[in-house]
Amino acid sequence: MFRSGGWLIETKDIRNVAFISHGGAGKTSLVETILFNAKATNRIGSVENGTTVMDFDPVEIDRGISLNAKVSSIEWLKTHINIVDTPGYANFLHETRAGLSAVGGAVVIASAITGVKAETKRVWGFSEEFDLAKIIFVNKMDKERADFFRALGDIEKSFGVTPIPIFLPIGKEDDFKGIIDLVKMKAYMYPAEPTAEFTIEDIPAEYADDVENYRNKLLEAVSETDDNLIEKYLEGIDLTEEEILTGIREGTISKQFIPVICGSAVKNIGSKLLLEAIINYLPSPLQREHKMAVEESTNEEIFIDPESKDFSAYVFKTFMDPFAGKLTLFRVYSGEITNDSEVYNTAKDKKEKISQLYILQGKNHIKVDKLVAGQIGMVNKLKITETFDTLCDPKKKVTFPRYQLMDPVLAYSVKPKSKDDEDKVSNGIHRIMEEDVGLREARDERTGEILIKGMGQMHIEVVVEKLQKKFGVGVELQAPKVPYMETIRTTAKGQGKYKKQSGGRGQYGDVQIELVPLKSGEGFQFENKIVGGAVPKNYIPAVEKGIFEASKDGVLAGFPLIDFKAILFDGSYHSVDSSEMAFSIAGSMAFKKVAMDAKPVLLEPVMNMDIFVTDDMTGNVIGDLNSRRGRIANVEPETNGQHIRAQVPMSEVLKYAPDLRSMTGGHGMFSMDFSHYEEVPSHIADKVVTENKGE
Q: At 680, which CATH number?
A: 3.30.70.240
Residue 445's pLDDT band (cuts 50, 70, 90): low
Q: What is the mean pLDDT of residues 430-459?
A: 83
- What's the full length of the chain, in residues? 695
pLDDT at 3 over 70: no
Number of Cβ within 10 Å of residue 658's Cβ equals: 12
Q: Are 202 and 187 in contact (CB under 8 A)?
A: yes
> Could you report the per-residue pLDDT of 548-570, keeping only the tens digit for each?
999 999 999 988 999 999 999 99
Report the alpha-carbon distance of residue 259 to residue 166 in Å, rounded.
6
pLDDT at 674 over 50: yes
Of 378, 399, 420, the residue at which a domain comes to its end is 399
Is the Cα dihedral 475, 477, 478, 480 positive or negative? positive
State whether 508 and 366 are in the same domain.
no
DSSP state of 380: E
Report the alpha-carbon distance of residue 371 to residue 313 in Å, rounded.
11
pLDDT at 149 over 70: yes
State whether 186 and 321 are in the same domain.
no
Q: What is the mean pLDDT of residues 211-229?
A: 96
pLDDT at 1 over 70: no
Q: At 367, which CATH number?
A: 2.40.30.10
Predicted local confidence at residue 477, as pLDDT: 86
Q: At 55, which CATH number?
A: 3.40.50.300
- Most confidently predicted of 135-149, 432-446, 645-659: 135-149
State whether 261 and 176 are in the same domain.
yes
Residues 6+ apart with CB under 8 A from 49: none
**How many angstroms separate the first and last alpha carbons of the chain?**
68
Of 432, 462, 478, the residue at which a domain comes to its end is 478
Q: Which residue has the higher pLDDT, 478 or 111?
A: 111
Q: At 417, which CATH number?
A: 3.30.70.870
State whether 465 and 392 are in the same domain.
no
pLDDT at 663 over 60: yes
> Could you report the per-residue pLDDT of 471-495, keeping only the tens digit for each?
888 888 887 778 899 999 999 999 9
Report the candidate in 426, 296, 324 with the shortest Cα–Cα distance to residue 381.
Answer: 324
State whether 181 and 212 are in the same domain.
yes
In a domain, residue 404? The reply is no
Q: At what angle do helices 227-234 and 208-223 cross, to 10 degrees?
A: 140
Predicted local confidence at residue 4, as pLDDT: 46
Report the alpha-carbon distance of residue 175 to residue 189 in Å, rounded.
12
pLDDT at 695 over 70: no
Residue 118's pLDDT band (cuts 50, 70, 90): confident
Q: Are 429 and 441 in contact (CB under 8 A)?
A: yes
Report the relative pairing of strands 564-572 and 524-528 from DSSP bridges. Answer: parallel
In a domain, residue 534? The reply is yes
Residue % of the chain over a pLDDT of 70: 97
**Phi and psi of 531, rounded to 5°?**
-130, 150
Q: What is the mean pLDDT of residues 623-638?
A: 93
State whether 473 and 560 are in the same domain.
no
Predicted local confidence at residue 367, as pLDDT: 93
In a domain, residue 19? The reply is yes
Report the alpha-carbon distance of residue 339 to residue 354 in Å, rounded.
6
Average pLDDT, the chain: 90
State whether 391 and 373 are in the same domain.
yes
SS3 487: strand
DSSP state of 65: S
State whether 593 and 608 are in the same domain.
no
Q: Are 638 and 611 in contact (CB under 8 A)?
A: no
Predicted local confidence at residue 513, as pLDDT: 97
Residue 297's pLDDT band (cuts 50, 70, 90): confident
In a domain, residue 295? The reply is no
Of 375, 399, 423, the residue at which a domain comes to its end is 399
Number of Cβ within 10 Å of residue 519's Cβ equals: 7
Q: At what angle do helices 118-129 and 148-159 cross, to 10 degrees?
A: 50
Q: Are 252 and 15 in contact (CB under 8 A)?
A: no
**Burial grade of 372 (CB within 10 A; 0-12, 13-18, 19 or more):** buried
pLDDT at 603 over 90: yes
Q: Which residue has the higher pLDDT, 12 or 2?
A: 12
In a domain, residue 294? The reply is no
| Residue 134 host element (H or E) | strand 133-139
State whether 385 and 418 are in the same domain.
no
Report the alpha-carbon distance of residue 258 to residue 124 in Å, rounded.
12
In a domain, residue 653? The reply is yes
Residues 6+ apart with CB under 8 A from 376: 16, 71, 73, 82, 84, 102, 329, 330, 331, 332, 359, 360
Residue % of the chain over a pLDDT of 90: 63
| Least confident window among 7-11, 308-312, 518-522, 554-558 | 7-11
Report the alpha-carbon distance of residue 482 to residue 460 in Å, rounded.
18
Q: What is the mean pLDDT of residues 70-90?
A: 93
DSSP state of 296: T
The total number of structural domains in the chain stands at 5
State whether 269 and 395 are in the same domain.
no
Q: Are 621 and 663 in contact (CB under 8 A)?
A: yes
In a domain, residue 533? The reply is yes
> Could you report the per-residue pLDDT of 513-540, keeping only the tens digit for each?
999 999 988 999 999 999 889 999 999 9
Q: At what angle do helices 271-281 and 27-37 cross, to 10 degrees?
A: 90
State whether 527 and 563 are in the same domain.
yes
State whether 93 and 201 are in the same domain.
yes
Q: At 563, which CATH number?
A: 3.30.230.10
Report the alpha-carbon distance of residue 328 to residue 163 in Å, rounded.
37
Predicted local confidence at residue 694, as pLDDT: 58
Is the Cα dihedral 629, 632, 638, 642 positive or negative? positive
Predicted local confidence at residue 255, as pLDDT: 93
Residue range(s) defining the domain that contains residue 533: 485-598
pTM given for the model = 0.76
> Could you report the per-residue pLDDT of 402-432, keeping only the tens digit for each?
877 777 767 788 888 887 777 788 888 988 9
Q: How would you write 404-444 as a 3-class SS string?
A: CCCCCCEEEEEEECCHHHHHHHHHHHHHHHHHCCCCEEEEC
In a domain, residue 159? The reply is yes
| Residue 590 host element (H or E) | helix 580-597
Number of Cβ within 10 Å of residue 609's Cβ equals: 23
> Could you report the per-residue pLDDT of 340-384, keeping only the tens digit for each?
999 999 999 999 999 999 999 988 899 999 999 999 999 998 999
Report the alpha-carbon distance of residue 140 to residue 598 in Å, rounded.
69
> Could you report the per-residue pLDDT of 57-79, keeping only the tens digit for each?
888 888 888 888 999 999 999 99
